[in-house]
Amino acid sequence: MKKRILFIMAFVVATAMTTAQIDRSKAPTSGPTPEINMGEPYTFTLKNGMQVLVVTDSKLPTVNFSLNLNTPPIYEGDKAGVQSLTGSIMGKGTKTMSKEKFNEEVDFLGAFLSVNTNGGYMSTLSKYKEQVFKMFVDAALNPNFTQEELDFERDQLIANLKSGDNSAAAIAGKVRNALVYGKNHPAGEFATEETINSVTVEDLEQFYRTYFVPSKGYLVISGDITGKEAKKLVNKYLNTWIAGSAPDVSYPEAKDVPYTVINFVDVPNAVQTELAVMNIAGLKMNDPDYYAATVANSILGGSFNSYLNANLREDKGYTYGAGSGLGSNRYYKSSFRASAKVRNEVTDSAVVEVMKEMQRIRNTYVDDDMLSNAKAQFLGDFIMSSEDKEIVADRAITIKTNNLPADFYKNFIANINAVTKEDVKRVANKYFKTDQARIILVGKASDILENLDKMTVDGKPVPIKFFDKNANPTERPSGIEIPKGVTAQTVLESYVAAIGGKDAVAKVKSTSSRATLDSPMGEVAIIEKRDINNRWSLDVTMGGKSMSKQIYANGKGKVVAQGRTIDTAGDDLDAQQSEATFMPEVTMAAKAQLVGAEMKDGKKVYVIQWSPSKKSFYDMETGLLTSSETTIKQQGQEIIQAVNYSNYKEVKGVKFPMTLSQNMMGQDVSFEVKELKVNEGVSDADFK
C-alpha cells in the first residue's frame, strides 16, 4: 500500500514539474505541414484507349470496380430524358440473361452492381471478382433495350415529374439552373412529359452507341487484387470493346445579369420559400484561386459554423439550415449559389440577410479564429478521406481530367494552409457577386410579394421578374377581386349547395371514413370518425398497426403513440378542437371571415379564415372546398400543413372528397378514401 502511495506521489510531482516547464504566455508553435503521400496506382492502357488504375489493399477480402467514361455533359433538346431512360434500363438484365436471372445471380453472390450511361460501379468479395466482373461487363456491353422496359421506366419518370408539379422544392430544382444557364444548355434543360414521351427504343440504342464508348474513359480497381490479376481479368473480358470517343461538344456561354434582380416563381400551395442567390463563377480546379475560393466558400456557407448558417438559422431562426456552394466545372463556367428554405413571412428579411453576409465576406477581413477553424475542418475531412485507397485512384483521375499538376494532392494541405484573410476577401469579391446576383425565389406570391416590393438591399429596391414553373417569363400574379355582395356567409352557402343542399347536409349526424396509401412499409391508413357533438378521432395505421391516434371530445384532447398517452393542451388542444368541429361551414358560418381571393393550383378560390391558425379555400366556380391550411408550431418555428381535396362523390345525398393529398418533404402524397359511412359506424367508444 505504501509503495502505491509513493508511486502516485511521484507521478503527481513529475506531472507538476512538466507542467511548470510550459510557458503558457506563448501560443504553441505549429508543427510541419503534413503531406498526403498517395502513392502511385498500377496503371495500364487497353487497346481501345481506356486507362485502368489499380490500387491494392488486402485489409479486407473485397474488390471494387468503378468505370468512368469521362463523358461530357450532353444537351438532349427535344429528347430530354433520353439519357435518364437509357441509364435506368441499363443493368436490368442483358441480351444474354433475363432481368430476373441477372438480379438473382447478383443477390446470390452478395454483390452490388450498377451500370449507367457514364459507366458504373460494382463491389464484391474478392473470391467472386471474376464472376461479378463478367456480369458487370455483360450489363455494360450488352444492354437489353425493349419496348416493355421503356414503357415502364417512362411511366416512372413521368410519375416523378408529376409528383413535383406543385412542390416548391422540385420546381426550384429545375428552374434555378434554367434561369442561370438557359434551357438550351445541358446544365439548364430539363425533361418534360412531352420530351419523355417522344423517346423511342431506337433513341435509347442510338444514345448508347454514341456515348457509351471507352477511349477517353477510366476503370478504377481497388481492394484485394494485384495489378497482375487485374490486368489479366480486364483483358479477358474487355478485349472486345471497340475503341470510340463521344462527339466533341460546345456550350452556349452563360452570363450574369447586368444588375441584381429577383426571379420569382409563384407556387400558390408552397408552405415555405425556396431561396437561392446565384451568379456565374467560372472557377476551375486548376485556377490559382481554387484553394482560396474553397476556403472562402466554407466560411460563407460551406460549413455548419458558416456566416450564413450562424445568421439565418442560429440567430434569426428563419430556417433549419442555410449554406452555399461554389462549383468548379471543367466543361463550362461553374456557378455560385447561396441557398435556404425559409418561412414565407420572412422571405424578404432572409434575402436581406443573405446579401448582408455576402457583403460581409467581400468587405471585411475574416476573423483569424474563423479562418483557422475553417481550414482545420476542411483539412480534417480531406485527411480522413485520404485513408480510402479507392480515393487514391479517383484523385489520380481527377488530376488527369482537370489538367492539374502531378503534386496537386500532395501539396493540397500546404496550399489550403497558405490561404490568408486577404486572399479570402479578394476571391469573395471575384466569385460572390452581390452587384450581379440573380435572387431566385420559389414560393407563395400572396404571402411574399407585398413585403418583397418594399424590400431594399443596400438602400435600393430590387426589380422583380416573374417566371412560371417551367422557367418561362410570365406576368405578375394578379390579385383577384371579390365580386360585390360576396361575403364569408355566401361563400359557405355556395359550398353547402354544391355538396347537396341544406336539407341533405342537415341529415348528416356523423361520418366514418378510411383513406389509404400504399407504401414500401405496407398500407398506410387514416381512419377518421366525427359526430355532430364535435367529437373527433383520427387513427393513423401502418400494416394494420396503429402508429398514432388523436382523440378530442368534451373539451379534452389526447394523443396515443408508441404505448404512451399524452393529454394535449395549449396550441395542440386548440388545433384538435378546430379539427373536431363538425361541418364548420354550417355550425361556424357566423365566425368565418372572407380574407381574400387568389389563384391556387390554377383555380380562382375564395379564402376563408376560421382562426389565426386555420383557413380554407373554396373554388369560385364550383363552390367546393379545394384545400385547407393549418399553422402549427414545431421546435420554435411555424409550419403550415396543407391538405388538398378532390374527386368528390355522393354518399347518402351529400358529396365528400375521396382524394386527400398533402405535400410531405417535397413529395405530393395522396390518400384515397376507400370507405365512407354517414350516420353509421360511429359510437361513444370511438372517443374514449
Task: Tell me the C-alpha distance between 342 and 271, whole Å.
Answer: 9
Task: Tell me the C-alpha distance between 108 and 93, whole Å.
Answer: 15
**Which long-range contacts does 124-129 make (Cβ < 8 Å, 24+ apart)?**
124/62, 124/63, 125/61, 125/62, 125/63, 126/61, 126/62, 126/63, 126/223, 126/224, 126/225, 127/61, 129/63, 129/225, 129/233
Task: Tell me the C-alpha distance between 683 and 688, whole Å.
Answer: 10
What per-residue confidence (pLDDT) applies to 276? 98
- As given in the structure block, the three cell numbers for residue 353 are 440577410
Tell me, letter by letter, the H, E, C secondary structure of 396-450: HHHHHHCCCCCCCCCCHHHHHHCCCHHHHHHHHHHHCCCCCCEEEEEECHHHHHH
C-beta of residue 535 within 8 angstroms of C-beta of residue 512? no
Sign of CA dihedral 259, 265, 271, 275: negative
Q: Which residues, in sequence order, are bridge partners of residue 441?
A: 264, 275
Tell me, letter by letter, the H, E, C secondary structure of 68-132: ECCCCCCCCHHHCCHHHHHHHHCCCCECCCCHHHHHHHHHHCCCEEEEECCEEEEEEEHHHHHHH
Sign of CA dihedral 593, 598, 600, 603: positive
Q: What is the DSSP string of 365-379?
A: PPPHHHHHHHHHHHH
What per-residue confidence (pLDDT) applies to 32? 52
Q: How far is CA 231 from CA 46, 52, 221, 242, in A?
A: 9, 8, 10, 18
Query: Which is nearest to 277 in space by CA: 356, 198, 391?
Result: 356
With a CB cutoff of 8 Å and minimum separation 6, the contacts of 409 are: 36, 38, 386, 395, 399
Report residues of the chain scoring pLDDT below 50.
1-22, 24, 27-31
What per-residue confidence (pLDDT) applies to 562? 84
The model carries a pTM of 0.70
C-beta of residue 624 within 8 angstroms of C-beta of residue 495? yes
Q: Which residues, in sequence order, are bridge partners of residue 328?
A: none
End-to-end CA, the chain: 68
Digit-coded pLDDT (tens) for 496-520: 999 999 999 999 999 999 999 988 7
With a CB cutoff of 8 Å and minimum separation 6, the contacts of 483 are: none
| Element counts in the chain: helices (H) and strands (E) | 21, 27
**C-alpha angle 620/623/625, rounded to 5°?**
100
What per-residue confidence (pLDDT) applies to 20? 40
With a CB cutoff of 8 Å and minimum separation 6, the contacts of 207 are: 82, 83, 86, 117
